Amino acid sequence: MISLMSRFWLLALGACLFSPTAVAVEGEPEIRLVLQITVDGLRPDLISRGAGHFEEGGFKYLLDNGAVFANAHYQHANTETIVGHATLATGAHPSVHGMTGNVWYDAEADELSYNIEDPDSPLLPVREDQQSGDQVDPAQKLSRTQGRSPESLLAETLADKLLAYTAGKSRVFAVSGKDRSAVAMAGKGGKAFWMSTDSGDLVTSTWYYAGYPDWVAHWNSARKASRYAGTEWRLFKDKDSYLLASRDDRPYEADLGGFGRVFPHRFGDAGNKLLYTQLVASPEGDALLADFARALITNEQLGHGPVTDFLSVSFSGVDAVNHFFGPASLESEDMVLRLDRTLAGFLAFIDEQIGLDRTLIVLSADHGIAELPEYMAERGMKTGRLTPDVILEAADRISEDRFGIKGLVKFYYRPYLYLDGERIDQASLDFDHVRDVLAESLTLEPGIHIAATRQMLDKWPDRKLFGQIRNNFHPARSGDIYVVQDPYWFNFDEGPVTGMHGSPWNYDTHVPVIFAGPGIRAGTIYRAVQPADVAPSIAALLKMSPPASAQGVVLPELFGSPQSLD
């Protein structure tokens, strides 16, 4: 008898060696294009809720023709944008790829740092009249420079592996409404573009280009985003047909610079600093991104070379809408419905230009989303809002009560507390004792489920939650205490963001994973899988080795039913 583990690896090896859907290193590849679609913040039940409205193409095409993994959960605790995208890209946990959060402590600079900032890779200028918009993204407020690159990503990505495998012949691109999403998916060797909320342009940095390609400059010169100034986001269908028709005016939703809480939502006039942020928080931002992706495919001739090409498209609208209005809002329901139509048009274009029968499509999300605390309180749950000030004030109160001194915490940026070792030493206190006392006492504070130290994780190796926190731990970037909020408690900065993700709870870890394309058998699989399995599985479909640090495994259902090896 062959052991279970031996059986698994033989199946995976057979999938890699004998799959009919592999990349050809010379000649026309059987898979011309890998199209990896990541919908920021798309909890799977948001697709289910809108399914009755879906027409042909879009989500319906993927659900009807794809292998749908309905029980996919991230295995790390800090479910944020960069963490999820890096995990999808590398097949590794943040403890390995290093992207532990949108922000972490830079010990060399002694300050907090944005995840992909790089002063040596400044943004390429688009035009002299670019305005400087108000930053709504709290993470980007901590960026000390506009430079962007994948320098901080510590693991090889699928895109990097493909470029190495084809000796650089593959054309690899990533586009997104967010810089960190595009940068993570492009890896070190691909090209990344993202939407600027200052100008509405698709921008990049000197890491990728010395100057914009002519076609990008032409696309930006059309000022397509600016055409929405003074227009409105209106419902796609009759209001009475929506499940959440009565959820259009809730006092705890955000009014983003006059965007309003009810339909129709009016975009700012030309010159409004929040116009392009409003576009991202609407279906129009995703439509613009798809338009740019079509221009990219056409001008870069993706899918028409001697080897497989790769394109990542990360749509950001669902996440933005959920941040400002919540997932149980009429805006969220309409957003998913409109994204479905955007996807349908984009896939029809792919079919015309390349052929869906020669395109491997993989759809997933970087994280899920929590319902707004006030909404869940209406449902009878005890919830609330935690902000950095609340947590820091609690840490100071505990420090003063137990040690007679405040200011023992240097920084807090969710989810990590970073202690001030120098101040602790000056007070002749034991660092480990201070850390443990703070963690134990903070765990008793309202809204905090647990404040965990690295040492606690070692004592409870089999606890699921501690395993998620351990997978999030990187020695050079993670803090001293990991703060986990109670379910449905908001844990973020005060401001226009009213809904948040980032917890280890199921609503934040659960995401769709769908594979569709040549050789993929349609069906729904309910066994537990993880998004870290995506990169190794794509690699296997292309007959490549997985990315070097990948911790996920090949999904055998993509290669037909496993055969008994007894």
Reported confidence tier of residue 458, pLDDT bands at 50, 70, 90:
confident
Reported confidence tier of residue 44, pLDDT bands at 50, 70, 90:
very high
105 touches 412 (CB < 8 A) = no
Residue 70's contacts (CB-CB under 8 Å, 6 or more residues apart) are 44, 512, 524, 525, 526
What's residue 564's pLDDT?
29
Average pLDDT of the segment spanning 301-318: 98
31 touches 362 (CB < 8 A) = no
Residue pLDDT, tens place only, 351-377: 999 999 999 999 999 999 999 999 999
Average pLDDT of the segment spanning 160-167: 98
On the question of pLDDT at 302 being above 70, the answer is yes
Interstrand relation of 111-114 and 103-106 (parallel, antiparallel or unpaired)? antiparallel
364 touches 89 (CB < 8 A) = no
What's residue 127's pLDDT?
64
Burial class of residue 399 in the structure, from the number of CB atoms within 10 Å of its CB (0-12 exposed, 13-18 middle, 19+ buried): buried
What's residue 186's pLDDT?
98
What's residue 109's pLDDT?
87
The mean predicted confidence, pLDDT, of the chain is 92
Residue pLDDT, tens place only, 311-344: 999 999 999 999 999 999 999 999 999 999 999 9
On the question of pLDDT at 23 being above 70, the answer is no
Report percent pLDDT > 70 for the chain: 91
Residue pLDDT, tens place only, 83-138: 999 999 999 999 999 999 999 998 888 889 999 999 999 999 986 554 444 455 66
CATH of 23-50+81-364, one of 3.40.50.150, 2.60.40.2380, 3.40.720.10, 1.10.260.40: 3.40.720.10
What's residue 128's pLDDT?
53
Residue 546, both tokens = 């997985």
What's residue 2's pLDDT?
41
Average pLDDT of the segment spanning 75-84: 98
Average pLDDT of the segment spanning 74-84: 98
33 touches 350 (CB < 8 A) = yes
On the question of pLDDT at 12 being above 50, the answer is no
Q: Where in the chain do CATH 3.30.1360.150 domains reside?
A: 385-485
Residue 564's contacts (CB-CB under 8 Å, 6 or more residues apart) are none
What's the length of the chain?
566
Q: Where in the chain do CATH 3.40.720.10 domains reside?
A: 23-50+81-364
Cα gap 103→483, rounded to integer Å: 15
Average pLDDT of the segment spanning 68-90: 98
3-state DSSP helix/strand/coil % of the chain, to nearest 5: 35, 15, 45
Reported confidence tier of residue 392, pLDDT bands at 50, 70, 90:
very high
Identify the weakest region by mean pLDDT among 50-64, 133-147, 495-509, 519-533: 133-147
Helices 431-442 & 388-403 angle (0-180, nearest 10): 120
Higher-pLDDT residue of 264 and 130 is 264
What's residue 6's pLDDT?
44
What's residue 258's pLDDT?
94
pTM of the model: 0.93
Q: Give the number of other CB atoms < 10 A from CB of residue 241.
A: 12
CATH of domain 385-485: 3.30.1360.150
Average pLDDT of the segment spanning 486-493: 96
Residue whose token pair is 């230009």: 353
Which of 225, 232, 257 lies closest to 130, judged by CA?
225
Average pLDDT of the segment spanning 411-425: 96
What's residue 5's pLDDT?
40
Residue pLDDT, tens place only, 138-163: 666 656 678 999 999 999 999 999 99
